[in-house]
Structure 1
Amino acid sequence: MPGIGFLGALVIAVIFIATNVIKVLREYQRGVIFTLGRVGKKASGPGLILLIPLVQEMRKVDMRTLVHDVPTQDVISQDNVSVKVNAVIYYRVVDAVRAIVQVENFMAATSQLAQTTLRSVLGKHDLDEMLQERDKLNKDIQEILDTQTEAWGIKVSNVEIKHVDVDQSMIRAIARQAEAERERRSKIIIAEGEQQAAAKLSEAASILATTPGAMELRYLNSLQDIAGDRTNTIVFPFSMADVSKALRGDNF
């Protein structure tokens, strides 16, 4: 019986050592070791870590890139349009010691900061900018987050706005605006075409006015075009000068 008690104590001691003394960190993990409450300047790992029982304590930190889905936020744009926006952020821990010591929960802190920054940045822009300039907005949000989280040992590498949901009534208004814009461009193109045609006609009239025989050649070309058409009606063009002579009874 005494041998069984000793064996049991030995098993308990081995289990205690295995769980509290010997630690193994994977390649993407680092360990922040506290010795009597004080932390070293650098994190330990990866590999085998030996701790002093009751003296040292270790916190594991994942150094891989983390992906966080920012919940949908209600945003009022600069032109007073209510939209719902959500995004995704990519970040990683670059300093495990600061990530543990400087903030209570760096994941929760980064999430809350991302939500407030998303509302703050998008609220300074119009709806058209949210829909058309996402790359610029993504970069602005990423830079602000990266500056704020640097003190926590966090590096925000990328921010992507996923959805900008607009109310149905606003979607219809945007559609009407786009239709009006297309109609405006169409009218401008037609007006520019008329302007160019008028300029060319004025140029052609100036050239014909300087050459008396050119008008007669144009008459003959017109007759040739009419003769090529399948019609019984022939329209012969006369100049205004010839019409005036005919009305006065003069000979052509």
Structure 2
Amino acid sequence: MAVLAIIVGAGLLWMLTGVRVVQQYERGVVFRLGQVRGQVRGPGPTLLIPLVDRMRKVNVQVITMPVPAQEGITRDNVSVRVDAVVYFRVVEPIRATVDVQNYMFAMSQVAQTSLRSIIGKSDLDDLLSGRENLHRGLELMLESPAVGWGVHIDRVEIKDVALPDSMKRSMARQAEADRERRARIITADGEFQAAAKLAEAATVMDATPAALQLRLLQTVVEVAAEKNSTLVLPFPVELLRFFDAGAKAASGAAPTAAPAPAAEVPAAEVPAAEQAGTPALPRPAEAPDHTALTKTEHTPEA
């Protein structure tokens, strides 16, 4: 009986050495004498044959693997440094254990290679603003080898894009110039609209002179509300026009006679001394022509 008890105890101890516990987030791949058993052991206690079976546990949780930063030149010849992150999980534990030696290392190398490849195929604007397409492209590039390893890619994202300092300064100057251009356009548009409204207001005030006086009074009220010690009143231009119209009416009522034009003297009759600017001396009176009188007296009567 003692020997039987010893044998039973040894058997129980040997069986207990083959008990394994699989966690909820794990799956067990059993190798019996080097061959994989077809059935994957689920979570909970499982019994193995000691010295015959070996079990390898595979984590089926979502694994977050950072991809080291990769330096490359984009399609538009800009040097960048890009790093990413890959989210994946094992869906076929047997393949992940048998078909690849270390699926974690394999996924890391494929992710780095794919990231460098996607950098060379993309422009800088795509890396900065169009990352959704790049994420899908990276996911497709990683999905092809991952399927054969029993790994499913959940998500791939680019974390950061590091640019050279010279490129950052150039982009800052470009953005500043663009903002200044938009500010000038907005200011010019505002001035154009204000000028249009002022033109309409001037047309209304020109048709109704009383509106200008009301506007003047309103301006005075607004200035006086600030409690200033000095009040400067603008002189309306309409009053100047009124005085100008009155002066023109007064000048038109009593027109002055224009002086008679001086008689023109032929240049030949003007003495040479006067033409030269020297006052001419008075000429003596010419003697009467006695010859003519004599001829008149001796003319016979008809």
Q: TM-score, normalised by structure 1?
A: 0.73
2:74 aligned with 1:77 = yes
Aligned length, in residue pairs: 237
Q: Which residue identity does 2:104 align to in structure 1?
A: M
**Quick one: structure 1 residues 77 and 230, their matched pair in 2 at CA, closer, same or farther if it must change by over 3 Å?**
farther
Greater strand share, structure number:
1
CA distance in 1, matches of 2:132, 2:62: 21
Which residues of 2 match residues 40-189 of structure 1 at below 5 A?
Answer: 40-46=37-43, 47-51=45-49, 53=51, 57-134=54-131, 137-138=134-135, 140-142=137-139, 144-146=141-143, 148-189=145-186
Give the structure 2 partner of residue 249 of structure 1: 247
> What SS is found at the alignment partner of 2:128?
helix
**Contact 1:122-1:137 within 8 A present in 2 as well:** no
Q: Which residue identity does 1:48 align to in structure 2?
A: T
**Quick one: structure 1 residues 159 and 209, their matched pair in 2 at CA, closer, same or farther if it must change by over 3 Å?**
same
Q: Which residue identity does 1:77 align to in structure 2?
A: T
How many percent identity over aligned positions? Answer: 43
> What SS is found at the alignment partner of 2:215?
helix
Question: 1:70: how far off?
Answer: 0.8
- Which structure has more relative contact order (CA 8 Å, sep 6+)? It is 1
**Contact 1:93-1:153 within 8 A present in 2 as well:** yes
Q: TM-score, normalised by structure 2?
A: 0.63
**Quick one: structure 1 residues 25 and 224, their matched pair in 2 at CA, closer, same or farther if it must change by over 3 Å?**
closer
Q: Which residue identity does 1:106 align to in structure 2?
A: Y
CA distance in 1, matches of 2:74, 2:239: 65
Give the root-mean-square deviation of aligned CA atoms.
Answer: 3.7
**Quick one: structure 1 residues 223 and 65, their matched pair in 2 at CA, closer, same or farther if it must change by over 3 Å?**
closer
Give the structure 2 partner of residue 235 of structure 1: 234
CA distance in 2, matches of 1:214, 1:197: 19
**Contact 1:68-1:88 within 8 A present in 2 as well:** yes
CA distance in 1, matches of 2:146, 2:73: 25
- Gapped regions of structure 1 (runs ≥ 5): 1-10
**Quick one: structure 1 residues 217 and 119, their matched pair in 2 at CA, closer, same or farther if it must change by over 3 Å?**
same
Question: 1:236: how far off?
Answer: 0.3
Larger Rg: 2
Q: Which residue identity does 2:48 align to in structure 1?
A: L
Question: 1:31: how far off?
Answer: 2.2
Q: Which residue identity does 1:250 align to in structure 2?
A: K
**Quick one: structure 1 residues 25 and 194, their matched pair in 2 at CA, closer, same or farther if it must change by over 3 Å?**
same
Question: 1:169: how far off?
Answer: 1.5
> What SS is found at the alignment partner of 2:199?
helix
Question: 1:163: how far off?
Answer: 2.7
**Contact 1:42-1:97 within 8 A present in 2 as well:** no
**Quick one: structure 1 residues 225 and 69, their matched pair in 2 at CA, closer, same or farther if it must change by over 3 Å?**
closer
**Contact 1:226-1:234 within 8 A present in 2 as well:** no
Give the structure 1 partner of residue 262 of structure 2: none
How far does the alpha carbon of each residue in 1:187-236 deviate from its partner, in whole angstroms, 9 at most, with x for none? 12212221221222233233334434323433444455566754365430
Greater helix share, structure number:
1
